[in-house]
Amino acid sequence: MADTLIFHPPRRLGYIFHIAASAIILLAVALLFDQATRAELGLLFLLYLLAALFLAVLLPVLLYRLWAMHNAAYILQRDGVRLQWGMRVEDIPMNEVEYVRPVEDLVTPLDLPRVRWPGTVLGEVQHPDMAAAEYMASQPGGLVLVGTQRRTFIVSPADRDTFVRTFNHQIELGSLTPVAGRSVYPSFLLAEVWASLPARILLIVGSVLSLALLVWVALAVPNRETVSLGFSASGAPRDPVASAQLFLLPVVNLFFFSANFVLSMFFYRRSQQHPVPYILWGSSALTAAMFLGAVLLIL
């Protein structure tokens, strides 16, 4: 048997749900933006804009959960177990694993996380027989308990029986050099990003410019009935439109800022010296500055 065996959770239903939900949200955001551009400045316009903003923020979350599920793996080695779900990684030395068994072996049933959907069953729950229980699964069925003294992990390998048999075989072989125990949480990653001075500067600059863009547009729109967005091919200003359409600029900027941040975490987790996260953070600040310049020209 190979020294390292990798198991994945069932992902087909998760792919369908996340891709379909992302497409529906993207379509809904586009329709809400379109309605906002047609509405008069007032309560209805504000409702359209807030609804579009709310859905636009949800989209990077769904895309991250899709990537996390695609990247999920349960890795069994002679010297330890690695559980990986997106930015969440748990390395467990083999001598600290007390048992690996189906969840049905529990006398008291295990509760599911309150917030879950296809492809994503994550979070901590309480159980009288466990110090702490954490789900790292894609479905509520076919679950396996990976128990240690301090925490029990609930996982969902696609081939549960083979996963349990493989673990039993590996533990019978005995560990020669146990892996170093390690727990990596997304919150730890955020703390590491904030501790980096270049990253902190780029994020602060991008945030300040994005906020300035939103405040400037919010102050300027009530004082103007119409604005001209851009120029025609001949160089003449386009026909005036309702000034409320200027709000599209900070909204689009917010979407790019959020998407860049989520994508940058993926590269930063792989290597803190990776240049792509800094390029993404810098591009977020540059994009906000360009939108500010566009507002200046428009007004």
Same structural domain, 281 and 170: no
- Interval 133-178: pLDDT, tens: 999 999 999 999 999 988 999 999 999 999 999 998 888 887 778 8
pTM of the model: 0.73
- pLDDT computed for residue 6 by the predictor: 93
Q: How far is 83 from 153, CA to CA, in rounded Å?
A: 9
122 lies in a domain? no
Alpha-carbon distance of 295 to 80, in angstroms, equals 56
Whether residue 80 sits in one domain with residue 31: yes
Same domain, 169 and 200: no
- Tell me which residue has tokens 């894609």: 138
Whole-number pLDDT of residue 296: 82
> What pLDDT does residue 139 have?
94
Q: What is the pLDDT of residue 275?
A: 83
Rounded (10°) angle between helices 275-298 and 248-270: 170
Secondary structure of 105-150 in HEC code, one letter for each residue? HCCCCCCCCCCCECCEEEEEECCCCCCCEEEEECCCCCCEEEECCC
For residues 193 and 161, state if they share a domain.
Answer: no
Q: Are residues 64 and 179 in the same domain?
A: yes
> Is residue 36 in a domain?
yes
Based on the fold, state whether residues 162 and 50 are members of the same structural domain.
yes
Same domain, yes or no: 217 and 88:
no
**Sign of the alpha-carbon torsion through 164, 166, 169, 170:** negative
pLDDT value, residue 2: 47
Let me know if residue 61 belongs to a domain.
yes
Residues 229 and 286 in one domain: yes
Residue 121 lies in a domain: no
Last residue of a domain, one of 183, 202, 229: 183
215/284 same-domain check: yes
65: in domain: yes
Contact between 208 and 222 (Cβ < 8 Å): no
- The verdict on residue 107 lying in a domain is no
* 231 found inside a domain: yes
pLDDT of residue 294: 80
Structural domain that includes position 246: 185-299
Q: In DSSP terms, which residues pair with 114 in a beta bridge?
A: none
User: Which segments in the chain show pLDDT lower than 70?
Assistant: 1-2, 37, 39-42, 187-188, 225, 228-244, 269-273, 299
Find, among 81, 69, 73, 129, the residue nearest to 103 by Cα: 129
Q: Which residue has the tokens 């146990």?
A: 178
Residues 85, 68 contacting (CB under 8 angstroms):
yes
221 shares its domain with 285: yes
* C-beta neighbour count of 142 within 10 angstroms: 20
Residues 267 and 179 in one domain: no
Distance CA 76, CA 95 (A): 13
Total domains in the chain come to 2
The verdict on 280 and 178 lying in the same domain is no
Average pLDDT, the chain: 84
Angle CA 66–279–71, to nearest 5: 20
pLDDT digits (tens, 9 = 90+) for 242-267: 666 777 788 788 878 877 887 887 77
134 within some domain: no
